[in-house]
Amino acid sequence: MVIYLVFPFESIEDFNLRLSPEHEIFRKSVREFAEKKIGPRALEIDEKDEIPRDLLEEMAQQGYFGIGIPETYGGQGEDHTSVVILTEEISRISPALTVVLGTNELFAVPIILFGSEEQRKRYLPPIARGEKFGAFAVTEPCCGSDVAGIQTRAEKKGDKWVINGRKAFISNADLADYILVLARTSPPPDRRSRHMGLTFFIVEKDTPGFKLDQKYEKMGLRGSHIYELSLENVIVPDENRVGAEDLGFLIAMETFDRTRIGVAAQALGIAQRLFEEAMSYVHKRQAFGYPLAFFQAVQFSLVEILAKLMASRYLTYLAAKLADEGRREFTFVASLAKFFASEMAEEIASRVINLHGGVGVIRETGIERFLRDIKIIQIYEGTNDIQRLVAYRQLIRILREKNLIPEEVARLVV
């Protein structure tokens, strides 16, 4: 079996990254906003476990909730690179705030890709303006990464659907006005086809039978809340069905392929902030009569942090670039970016806390909260081990298409 030099790509030019001057102008404007408006309140958000509503309103005024939504529906345009820039810069200050951006994206992407024109016109403009918020309800108490195993059911009665079930770990369900709910609408034909028979529905929060139940207390991303939801005989019209009946699993996977780029950007923002904090601290802090930066071990640690930060940034921005170009390889790179960036961010957080010593574990310094945040980022929207599986299967598909691996072997390993 021959593997090309630039596999899984076909040309070394595929590794090019070309960001525009407009992207840099946008990045600077977001950083300025994040430093001035979010920075002074970041610790308050973490301590009170609450995002101030007026801060969300200021983000809406900046047009941030419209990034990634087509201009036709009131957004700023479908540019994954801009979503990454926005997410990285805000996550650098308050990762919890970027969860609001992420849950909006989880709601909007399926509508953009698979929704009806009526759904796009009704639900996307208020999301883009920041007047309404979205959530994405797939996970259940029984099933996390096993999306095909969900037990919530939707039964069709005339031109309506009756939904019954429970959802768990649903981010920003309390903030959301619209919730995209995945339910089983028909039994799978066999065990190998468990992913078939699932369908998405838009449920508006005031729909009778829909209820927020338990709020989970979590270790990180404080300010963004996660809830268990119950749906008891929730009735929605067929016009609230998103995409074709029984193809919900495909829609979920297509959605995650895109939104996990933003998750990698969250990790990237955390790593960038930690590197900046470490660089500043080791040149100020004295030990044994010298700045910490005088010691070779500290220098080595900082350079290793920078190398991993830059590698994470490249993978993340490459995934966004490929998605913007409509290249199928973006799904493979997005999985790499998600697990690599989040695992490197955890390692960087631990190293930076060690460099700070006792100061690093004091809540008031704002360092330790990033370690709490990154653990959650490694888990949601597909755990990191799931990302490894996704990336591997994408590799096998490419090998199979190029006839570089026998069909019978490909079937066995995936």
Question: What residues act catalytically?
Answer: 381
Identify whether the C-beta of residue 75 lies closer than 8 Å to the C-beta of residue 124: yes
Expressed in percent and rounded to 5, the helix, strand and coil fractions of the chain are 60, 15, 25
Nearest Cα neighbor of 225 from 174, 270, 168, 166 is 174
Q: Which amino acid is at 384?
A: N
Q: Which amino acid is at 272?
A: Q
For helices 248-284 and 95-114, what crossing angle results, to 10°?
160
Instruction: Tell me the C-alpha distance between 86 and 36, whole Å.
Output: 15
Q: Token pair of 247, please? A: 């193809």
Instruction: Tell me the C-alpha distance between 44 and 42, whole Å.
Output: 5
Identify whether the C-beta of residue 329 lies closer than 8 Å to the C-beta of residue 322: yes
Instruction: Tell me the C-alpha distance between 351 and 67, whole Å.
Output: 33
DSSP state letters, 2-51: ---TTTTSSSGGGG-----HHHHHHHHHHHHHIIIIIGGGHHHHHHHT--
Nearest Cα neighbor of 200 from 262, 256, 152 is 152
Three-class DSSP category at 225: coil
Within 13 Å, how many C-alpha atoms sit on residue 77's CB side? 5
Instruction: Tell me the C-alpha distance between 351 and 354, whole Å.
Output: 5
Nearest Cα neighbor of 223 from 234, 231, 215 is 215
Nearest Cα neighbor of 258 from 172, 324, 344, 171 is 324
Identify whether the C-beta of residue 96 lies closer than 8 Å to the C-beta of residue 48: no
Query: Which residue is it, tokens 């990191």?
Result: 384
Identify whether the C-beta of residue 227 lies closer than 8 Å to the C-beta of residue 212: yes
